[in-house]
Amino acid sequence: LFGKMGLPGGSKTKTGQWSTSAQLLEDLAAEGHELPRKIVDWRQLTKLKSTYTDALPGFINPGTNRVHTSYALAATTTGRLSSSDPNLQNIPVRTAEGRKIRTAFIAEKGHKLVSADYSQIELRVLAHVAEIPQLKQAFADGADIHAITASEMFNVPVEGMPSEVRRRAKAINFGIIYGISAFGLANQLSIPREEASAYIKRYFERFPGIRDYIEETKAYAREYGFVETIFGRRIHYPEIRASNPSVRAFNERASINARLQGTAADIIRRAMVHMEEALEKAKLSARMLLQVHDELIFETVDAEVEATIPVVRRVMENAPMPAVSMSVPLHVDARAADNWDEAH
């Protein structure tokens, strides 16, 4: 790439070898160089083949013809479930090639898979806990939250908004939740760091309540060593007082997101607890098969699909009640299909 072909941007590792990192190859591919694109595609396909196509059949239970995962309830800091042997929470969804793996997960004959997932649940929790009027109103109206954010930030009308403007707002919305830096946002959007820094500054000017939430959360975590979900569950960050500034900064960023991700984890667990009783009460035979963070997957007979989806949505959307009455409505997208990819 850099020796024979003389492509630009080459840098060497500590061992003196040319670096072929994913980011470097992606940058070269974006500039129109053909070989780096082929290498990136080859790496992705070999990863899919070794991790899923070759490995998953080995986990099929001969008695049930199904793959059975194991869940750990207390393995993550925020309270999300984790899955292992095999991990069914990391089946690809972001790329067209990756999504083909999901087509292998099919319903039994005469049945459908129903996928129900929370729409933008962490942003909804943020709007609730940080009391952000614009976001609360947008969610109440069922508006496109990323378009609303873009309109607020860039003074662009929602009608006829260019997709690139919305994409940038989406990256900022989700990035802020995870405590993204100007450097991180610049890399994600392929823009100069100064421009990314200006975006973040403008975001906080438009949504001052979010900056207040971030500062209050960090201060609380520093004082007490933990943060709480809206249900009162504590998530501990003892190293937030560490002498090493990078360790402190990492724990501060983690605490900001923990309240949101932890609350989302509590909500879906509450939904799972109430789901079986609700389905039985409605005399439905649907079975819950899988939880993938904000998504629940069920299997139900064809004849009961239309009756099952409203029950599933109602239980998931009302899961915080009666413990917490949220000021922002939760919304669940649910679809049925023969395989997991088409249902999602």
Token digits for 128?
Answer: 């609730």
| CA gap 205, 199 in Å, rounded | 10
Per-residue DSSP letters for 141-165?
A: HT--HHHHHHHHHH---STT--HHH
252, 256, 259, 265 alpha-carbon torsion, rounded to 10°: -100
Backbone angles phi, psi at 318, to 5 degrees: -105, 10
| CA gap 327, 241 in Å, rounded | 33
Tell me how long the chain is.
344
* pLDDT, position 61: 96
- Contact 45/97 with Cβ under 8 angstroms? yes
C-alpha closest to that of 45 among 10, 97, 119: 97
Q: Which domains does the chain have, with CATH numbers?
A: 1-54 (no CATH), 129-260 (1.10.150.20)
| CA gap 169, 163 in Å, rounded | 10
| CA gap 15, 63 in Å, rounded | 50
| CA gap 286, 248 in Å, rounded | 46
- Contact 91/69 with Cβ under 8 angstroms? no
Residue-wise pLDDT tens for the chain (344 aa)?
776 666 776 777 777 776 777 777 777 777 777 887 888 888 889 999 999 999 999 999 999 999 999 999 999 999 999 999 999 999 988 888 889 999 999 999 999 999 999 999 999 999 999 999 988 998 999 988 899 888 888 888 988 888 888 988 898 888 887 788 888 888 888 889 998 999 899 888 888 899 999 999 999 999 999 999 999 999 999 999 999 999 999 999 999 999 999 999 999 999 999 999 999 999 999 999 999 999 999 999 999 999 999 999 999 999 999 999 999 999 999 999 999 999 98
CB-facing half-sphere around the CA of 8: CA atoms within 13 A:
7
Token digits for 92?
Answer: 């690809």
* pLDDT, position 80: 95
pTM of this prediction? 0.88
User: CB under 8 Å to 227, separation ≥6 — which residues?
Assistant: 217, 220, 221, 234, 235, 237, 255, 258, 259, 262
* pLDDT, position 22: 76
* pLDDT, position 180: 84
| CA gap 117, 220 in Å, rounded | 31
| CA gap 86, 57 in Å, rounded | 10
* pLDDT, position 176: 82
CA distances in angstroms from 304 to 135, 235, 283, 286, 336, listed in the order given: 36, 40, 10, 8, 11
Output the CA torsion sign for 310, 312, 316, 318: positive
Residue-wise pLDDT for 178-191, tens only, equals: 788 888 888 888 88
